[in-house]
Amino acid sequence: MTATPETIVSRPIARPLDGWLRVPGDKSVSHRSLMFSAIASGTSRIRGLLEGEDCLATANAMRALGVAVTREAEGDWRVVGRGLRGLEAPAAELDLGNSGTGMRLLCGLMAAQSFSSTLIGDASLSTRPMRRVINPLSAMGARIDSVDGHAPLVIHPAESLEGVNFEMPIASAQLKSALLIAGLYAASPTTLHEPAPSRDHTERMLSAMGAEVTRDGSTVRIAPCQRLEAVDIRVPADLSSAAFFLVAASLVPGSELTLEAVGINPTRRGVLDILEAMGADISLANPQTVGGEPVADLTVRGVTLKGARIPESLVPLAIDEFPVLFVAAAAADGVSEFSGLAELRHKESDRIGVMAAGLRALGVRVEEGDDWVRIEGGQLAGGTVDSHGDHRIAMAFAVGASVAAAPVTIGNAREIATSFPNFLELAGTAGLSVGPAA
């Protein structure tokens, strides 16, 4: 698999997208499968693991903590768990690269250990807010030093952790997961109240491994745990990665593209609901449950998308898909309005600001506020955009160029490899024209 180039060019295409694709494994499930298998008792086999740079950083962090993590074939991994209390002090800093998921979840895990650790990341990750995780973990008894709420994070041994009853200020699966992981080690139960549903992969996987996790409406509770049992895990195809092809095939007339075995977890499927609100033609077939996660084949057909006002209730269920949804709105007929998007300001980039600037560079009329975006649809012009090292923004503009008036050059695209290392290859298979700049 070749590395993603720093600059790519995506060109308008003349024929419909068709065929069958299998996008890589779910990023959220992959991170958790590595981390939770590491603290389980016994050997877990993981099939379909996403081998992007973010997940590989988590695998390396587990190795640094004394866990035997072995890649046996493409996507097939074996993890020999050390048990809840079996991790070893790392000899060096734990480098999470660009992965906010890896760093925030690891905060919860390392806060419960009997040794110190230091979590670092790349320049982008070092700007992302960590106080939202540090503060509630500190209320549980964790001792975490930061640089004004940012990485590097130095985590000291805590005498003990106590459960908390915590009102979450935002709907964040990363925050929720960090606290649930720490709750495994606490002396009393941990209860979290969500303002809106967020991804529940942590609850599903920990429950499958034997943890006592319960939900009552918007409240999630985890009891202290003595032991997690290793399980075999099949990682579904990532809906966030599938979203780029769902939008591309929707925009190109005559397309009919099927994406195989995609995860359709109810706490993740907001992108499907938003696209359907815009008139997309997406059908589901062969539904089944794989490793506790619902999956289905998704077939999408080319249509004329319509502008829509998207309810805030769908935002937490599609938080990673908004870059490509903004592109869908830019190519749709009419005006689209999105609100409740404040969290997008704190992703790998300021996704509202960066997407708005890129769309304007391609001739799209965009208005933005602190947490809202208004996009007037029409045809995108060609031009040059800067993804600011944000993988999802780079891929979103690659999709938009397929129906632009002229080619689009996308800078700082190398980070696509963090979540979708074979994006260029699969894009070509589907019928998109994306490749390195000359």
The residues that are catalytic are: 320
**Three-class DSSP category at 169:** coil
> Scanning the structure block, which residue is given the tokens 């992703």?
347
Please state, in angstroms and rounded to a whole number, the distance separating the CA atoms of residues 253 and 199.
Answer: 33
Rounded-to-integer distance, Cα 354 and Cα 124, Å: 14
**How far is CA 88 from each of CA 82, 113, 156, 226, rounded to the nearest angstrom?**
9, 9, 14, 18
DSSP 3-state helix, strand, coil percentages of the chain (rounded to 5)?
35, 30, 40
Q: Which strand (E) or helix (H) includes residue 436?
A: strand 433-436
For the CA atoms of 358, 18, 258, 28, the dihedral, rounded to the nearest 10 degrees, stands at -30
Helix (H, G, I), strand (E, B) or coil at 222: strand
- What is the C-alpha separation between 83 and 90, in angstroms, rounded? 16
Based on C-alpha coordinates, what's the Rg of the chain?
21
The encoded tokens of residue 29 equal 């499930």
Planar angle of CA 230, 236, 239, nearest 5 degrees? 140
* Strands ordered across the beta sheet of 165-167: 165-167, 190-193, 219-222, 213-216
| For helices 423-430 and 239-251, angle between their N-to-C axes, nearest 10 degrees | 30
Chain mean position to CA 411: 21
